[in-house]
Structure 1
Amino acid sequence: MTSKNTKRFEDVRPGEVLPELAVPITVTLINGGAIATRDYFPGHHDAEAARALGSPHVFMNILTTNGLVQRFIEQWAGPLAQFTALKIKLGAPNYPGDCMTFSGSVTGVDAHTRSVEITLSGKNSMGNHVTGTVALVLP
């Protein structure tokens, strides 16, 4: 049995646009993500150290970004979707006080494997923070 909140493969079409997700970028999000992923690089939790590196403030680590990508996709696909690939590339840094808005669309479907490919981006005020593709299998 599938959850009411899980997309079924039959209900997905190429070109389908996912609902946008806006994520406010805060010091707490950046610090918490770094600590949760055991990334103790000073640029992720110490503003003075980040400034010494040439950044205006602490900045988000890639593992936090990866988790936010997963959140964006799962919010659309539901809890029974199975990730088979997640490929991302970082661009502009995420700094506190900004907002990253995710957008994406279905760029491929395979009826034989019930898999779906989604191309996505997460943009902040400086441009793309993250771009990539996600593949998943739907019930």
Structure 2
Amino acid sequence: MAVTADRPVTAAGAELPPLEIPITRTLIVSGAIASRDYQDVHHDAELARRKGSPDIFMNILTTNGLVGRYITDHFGPRAVLRRVAIRLGAPNYPGDTMVLRGTVEQVDGDTATVRVVGANAIGRHVTGTVTVTVPAGGA
């Protein structure tokens, strides 16, 4: 497996350092706008409450982008995401913090499969796997 800046990931079982992401209204709304998800539950707190949610919440496309960022931050700018498969659980509400953690499940040459879990104060927000290739030469 290729080496990132100072963290080689050479075997299944290796753990990536956690990444804490503050969940702000700005992050939730800007992620929804960037992904063209104009559902009111992602930007209008009053309408979200009328639909049964205590507040606006993050959409899956923003979560998907944050999972991708987590992997590429670790493996470096040459990393190529080959597959991202995630499932949402507990919502990400403003004022919370999501902590992403990853464990290498499998390594095959320059490609690794990483199990990712992102949790917040109410539970697991996201679980899934990411397959990433780091071409020879590392970061």
Task: State the match for 2:125 in structure 1.
Answer: 129
Task: State the match for 1:14 in structure 2.
Answer: 12
**Unaligned stretches of 5+ in structure 1?**
none
For the 8 Å contact 2:22–2:96, the answer to whether it is kept is yes
TM, length-normalised to structure 1: 0.90
Q: Aligned to 2:49, which of 45, 48, 51?
A: 51
One-letter code aligned to 1:39: D
The structure 1 segments of at least 4 consecutive aligned residues displaced by more than 4 Å after TM superposition are none
Listed one character per residue, the Cα deviations across residues 80-130 of structure 1 (whole Å, up to 9, x for unaligned) are: 01111000000000000110000011000112xx21000010000111000
For the 8 Å contact 1:18–1:104, the answer to whether it is kept is yes
Alpha-carbon shift at residue 4 of structure 1 (Å): 6.7
Listed one character per residue, the Cα deviations across residues 19-72 of structure 1 (whole Å, up to 9, x for unaligned) are: 100000010000000001111000000000100111111000000000000111
Provide the identity percentage.
51
1:20/1:4 CA distance change after superposition, 3 Å:
closer
Equivalent runs, 1:91-130 vs 2, <5 Å:
91-111=89-109, 114-130=110-126
**How many equivalent pairs are there?**
134
CA distance in structure 2 between the partners assigned to 1:82 and 1:104 by the alignment: 17
CA RMSD of aligned residues (A): 1.8
**Unaligned stretches of 5+ in structure 2?**
none
TM, length-normalised to structure 2: 0.90
Q: Secondary structure of the equivalent of 1:23?
A: strand
